[in-house]
């Protein structure tokens, strides 16, 4: 077994009876260097900054207070640590009354930020360093921007642990230098299939901030429901599930402010022109097509949707574009991020056949194809999405679409502007390779690795395929596009599956530059408040580290999944302690007995 100090936490037996731990925060910082002189007590930490009247002074102070008061309240005892000597980690046993030298008390944090006013947007510098020296009673933090400083605080709060009684300690001296490998580190939540309350969304944001994920991609609407209020078209929420399952303007502002205070950007998605029925149909029935068709999964040549209920925008009807402009403009005023997601996935040609204008458009020129039809959408809609009149004045608005707009076999458009960001979801790193090769910036959400909803079986009802009592191998019936056990992207993506994903495999350096990062996605057919946190956490944190500092030991280049194990098991307990209802990953026995539950004795089995 090989234990890298910078990657593992080791219990250090001290002369004093309190024991300290070289805590291993999640995500693993790029570099941690420990010394040996032993822990310091954490006294009342005063935050001293060089803010000089920045508008972000309050935000930084609040973030520090949250981190520090959480550390005080939790009195955290690491729950799972890498430990090469003992059979399992000793919980610190000090009385808290040991005498320490005066210099062994930490009493302040000296924070220096180079650019206090940098906006939270794509590519903002998130680097920071933390230094605790034996000779000093203050913790020194340097960051380029406030957003890096916030990451420093979430690292610091994980370093502060209980001394076994009422006190807090930090193992030191320590120097941490840290920054993300990728600027885009996200979670997609879906409130179109099922509603998620504001409180539960905030709980997800707490988890995001703690694991240094910086994007909440909010798939707000879908064909099933329209839960967000619009001033211009208040009738849209007739298609919310109930008047209580609606996000008011105030709710949206509340979520965005909560996220912003924690360094998390909120990127809205209004899925167009596919996955569109609810809401739109309340504005004008003529702008949607096929909403009243049978979705025909049982008669595939006629299918109008890949899941119930069908509906797409009528992309030939000019009225459609007036409504799209109004909706986009209003939401751009509320979601002010530099990115906006406009969907673009899973267009079903058959659905378009239900529109008279589209049938006429095809009849006018028999050479026209569904590719041309999608091109018409892209050519007409993109100028709306980039016009400053509609972006709330933002000059740097960038549009995200799902990869289908360029990769769909039956309906991709021919010429899609290269400044549109593509979100890859099919065929793993092959599509990342393809899209970056075409010159697009890419967000990686490969379903076979990063979809959090996979593996829960099929949900469509009246499904006779489940009525099978035996088959030759006693296997579950395999249906729904090849996913084993009934869901298209089954099986379930475990944290190890997520963490070990080499999403830039086979890319040239130039292509790698075009990968903005990763987003785990949780589509909501079988998700609401009751299960959202347990489906997201702690698996999203595995993606957090994957995108922050990667899945490899920086020294050896080997995959560090085995070293990640204790880190993520501990982090799951930490999430629970701060109120994020993360699921257990293992029997608690495995948490208390490091490596006892490994499949392979050889700690280098994963490479």
Ligand X SMILES: *[C@@H]1O[C@H](CO)[C@@H](O)[C@H](O)[C@H]1NC(C)=O
Nearer Cβ to ligand X (302/319):
302
Q: How large is the angle between the packed helices 561-577 and 198-210, nearest 10 degrees?
A: 140
By rule CB under 6 A, what count of residues binds ligand X? 6
Least distance from C-beta 350 to ligand X, angstroms?
A: 4
Least distance from C-beta 602 to ligand X, angstroms?
A: 33
Per DSSP, 451 falls in state B
| 102 to 40, 50, 75, 166, 540: CA distances (angstroms) | 10, 26, 22, 18, 41
Of 17, 75, 353, 592, the one binding ligand X by CB under 6 A: 353
Question: Cis before residue 185, ω within 30 degrees of 0?
Answer: no
Q: Which ranges in 211-267 belong to alpha helices (H)?
A: 249-260
Torsion of CA 76, 81, 83, 87, to 10 degrees: 90
Residue 425: both structure tokens together: 């979801």
Least distance from C-beta 413 to ligand X, angstroms?
A: 15
Nearer Cβ to ligand X (298/602):
298
Least distance from C-beta 352 to ligand X, angstroms?
A: 7
Least distance from C-beta 68 to ligand X, angstroms?
A: 48
Least distance from C-beta 375 to ligand X, angstroms?
A: 16
Least distance from C-beta 359 to ligand X, angstroms?
A: 7
Phi, psi of 60 (to 5 degrees): -70, -40
Question: Cis before residue 309, ω within 30 degrees of 0?
Answer: yes
| 232 to 164, 227, 282, 336: CA distances (angstroms) | 58, 15, 12, 18
Q: Does 276 bind ligand X (CB under 6 A)?
A: no
Site for ligand X in 67-86 (CB under 6 A): none
Of 317, 426, 511, 549, the one binding ligand X by CB under 6 A: 426
Q: Does 427 bind ligand X (CB under 6 A)?
A: yes
Nearer Cβ to ligand X (282/427):
427
Nearer Cβ to ligand X (350/411):
350
Least distance from C-beta 343 to ligand X, angstroms?
A: 16
Instruction: Name the helix (H) or strand (E) containing 519.
Output: strand 515-522
Least distance from C-beta 594 to ligand X, angstroms?
A: 39
Question: Cis before residue 273, ω within 30 degrees of 0?
Answer: yes
Nearer Cβ to ligand X (197/353):
353
Least distance from C-beta 185 to ligand X, angstroms?
A: 25
Which of 346, 364, 403, 581 is an active site residue? 346
Give the pairing type, strands 398-402 and 339-343: parallel
Nearer Cβ to ligand X (306/407):
407
**CA dist., res. 394 & res. 604, Å (int):** 50
Beta-carbon-side half-sphere exposure of residue 227 (alpha carbons within 13 Å): 25
Q: Does 297 bind ligand X (CB under 6 A)?
A: no
Q: Does 460 bind ligand X (CB under 6 A)?
A: no
Nearer Cβ to ligand X (58/302):
302
Of 55, 58, 302, 512, the one binding ligand X by CB under 6 A: 302
Residue 378: both structure tokens together: 């892209």
3-state secondary structure of 234: helix
Q: Which of 453, 590, 465, 607 is nearest to 534 (CA)?
A: 453
Nearer Cβ to ligand X (362/571):
362
Q: Are 32 and 172 in contact (CB under 8 A)?
A: no
Nearer Cβ to ligand X (137/427):
427
Q: Which ranges in 387-444 belong to alpha helices (H)?
A: 404-407, 428-437
**CA dist., res. 554 & res. 284, Å (int):** 56
Q: What angle do CA 172, 541, 451 make, to 5 degrees?
A: 165
Site for ligand X in 394-413 (CB under 6 A): 407
| Residue count (the chain) | 607
Q: Which of 541, 585, 584, 574 is nearest to 187 (CA)?
A: 541
Q: Are 453 and 523 in contact (CB under 8 A)?
A: yes
- Long-range contacts, stretch 602-606, CB < 8 angstroms, 24+ apart: 603/1, 603/2, 603/562, 604/2, 604/558, 605/562, 606/500, 606/558, 606/559, 606/561, 606/562
User: Does 36 qualify as catalytic in the annotation?
Assistant: no
Nearer Cβ to ligand X (243/301):
301
Q: Does 350 bind ligand X (CB under 6 A)?
A: yes
Q: Would you name the residues annotated as active-site residues?
A: 346
Contacts to ligand X by CB under 6 A? 302, 350, 353, 407, 426-427
């Amino acid at each position: 077994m090989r234990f890298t100090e910078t990657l593992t936490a080791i219990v250090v037996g001290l002369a004093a009876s309190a024991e300290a731990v070289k805590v291993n925060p999640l995500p693993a910082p790029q570099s941690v260097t420990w010394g040996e002189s032993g822990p310091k007590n954490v006294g009342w930490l005063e935050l001293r900054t060089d803010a000089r009247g920045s508008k972000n002074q309050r935000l930084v102070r609040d973030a520090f207070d949250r981190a520090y008061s959480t550390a005080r309240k939790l009195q955290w005892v690491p729950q799972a640590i890498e430990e090469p000597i003992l059979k399992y980690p000793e919980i610190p046993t000090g009385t808290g009354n040991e005498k320490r030298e005066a210099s062994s008390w930490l009493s302040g944090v000296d924070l220096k930020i180079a650019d206090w006013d940098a906006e939270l947007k794509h590519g903002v510098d998130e680097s920071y360093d933390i230094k605790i020296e034996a000779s000093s009673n203050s913790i020194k933090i340097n960051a380029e921007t406030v957003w890096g400083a916030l990451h420093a605080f979430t690292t610091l709060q994980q370093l502060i642990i209980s001394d076994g009684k009422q006190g807090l300690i930090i193992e030191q001296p320590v120097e941490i230098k840290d920054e993300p490998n990728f600027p885009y580190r996200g979670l997609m939540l879906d409130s179109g299939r099922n509603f998620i309350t504001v409180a539960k969304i905030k709980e997800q944001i707490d988890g995001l901030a703690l694991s240094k994920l910086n994007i909440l991609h909010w798939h707000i609407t879908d064909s099933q429901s329209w839960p967000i209020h619009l001033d211009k078209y208040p009738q849209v929420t007739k298609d919310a599930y109930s008047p209580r399952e609606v996000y008011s303007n105030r709710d949206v502002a509340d979520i965005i402010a909560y996220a912003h205070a924690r360094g998390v950007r909120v990127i809205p998605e209004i899925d167009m022109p596919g996955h569109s029925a609810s809401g739109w149909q309340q504005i004008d029935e003529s702008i949607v097509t096929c909403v009243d068709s049978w979705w025909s999964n049982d008669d595939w040549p006629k299918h109008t949707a890949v899941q119930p209920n069908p509906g797409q925008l009528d992309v030939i009807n000019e009225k459609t574009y007036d409504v799209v402009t109004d909706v986009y403009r209003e939401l751009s005023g509320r979601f002010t991020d530099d990115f906006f997601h406009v969907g673009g996935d899973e267009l079903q040609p058959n659905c378009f056949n239900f529109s008279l204008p589209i049938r006429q458009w095809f009849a006018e020129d028999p050479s026209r194809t569904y590719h041309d039809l999608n091109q018409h959408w892209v050519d007409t809609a993109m100028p709306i999405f980039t016009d400053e009149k509609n972006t709330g004045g933002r000059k740097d608005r960038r549009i995200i679409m799902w990869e289908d707009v360029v990769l769909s076999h039956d309906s991709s458009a021919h010429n899609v502007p290269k400044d549109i960001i593509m979100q890859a979801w099919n065929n793993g790193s092959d599509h990342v390779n393809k899209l970056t090769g075409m010159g697009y910036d890419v967000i990686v959400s490969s379903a076979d690795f990063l979809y959090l909803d996979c593996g829960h079986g099929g949900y469509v009802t009246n499904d006779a395929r489940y009525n099978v009592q035996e088959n030759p191998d006693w296997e579950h019936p395999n249906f729904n596009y090849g996913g084993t056990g009934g869901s298209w992207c089954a099986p379930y993506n475990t944290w190890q599956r997520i963490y070990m994903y080499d999403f830039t495999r086979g890319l040239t350096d130039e292509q790698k530059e075009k990968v903005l990062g990763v987003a785990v996605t949780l589509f909501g057919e079988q998700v609401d408040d009751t299960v959202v946190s347990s489906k997201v956490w702690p698996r999203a944190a595995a993606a957090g580290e994957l995108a922050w500092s990667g899945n490899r030991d920086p020294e050896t280049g080997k995959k560090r999944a085995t070293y990640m194990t204790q880190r993520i098991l501990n982090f799951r307990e930490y999430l629970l302690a701060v109120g994020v209802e993360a699921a257990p990953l293992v029997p608690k026995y495995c948490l208390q007995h490091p490596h006892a539950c490994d499949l392979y004795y050889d700690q280098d089995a994963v490479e």
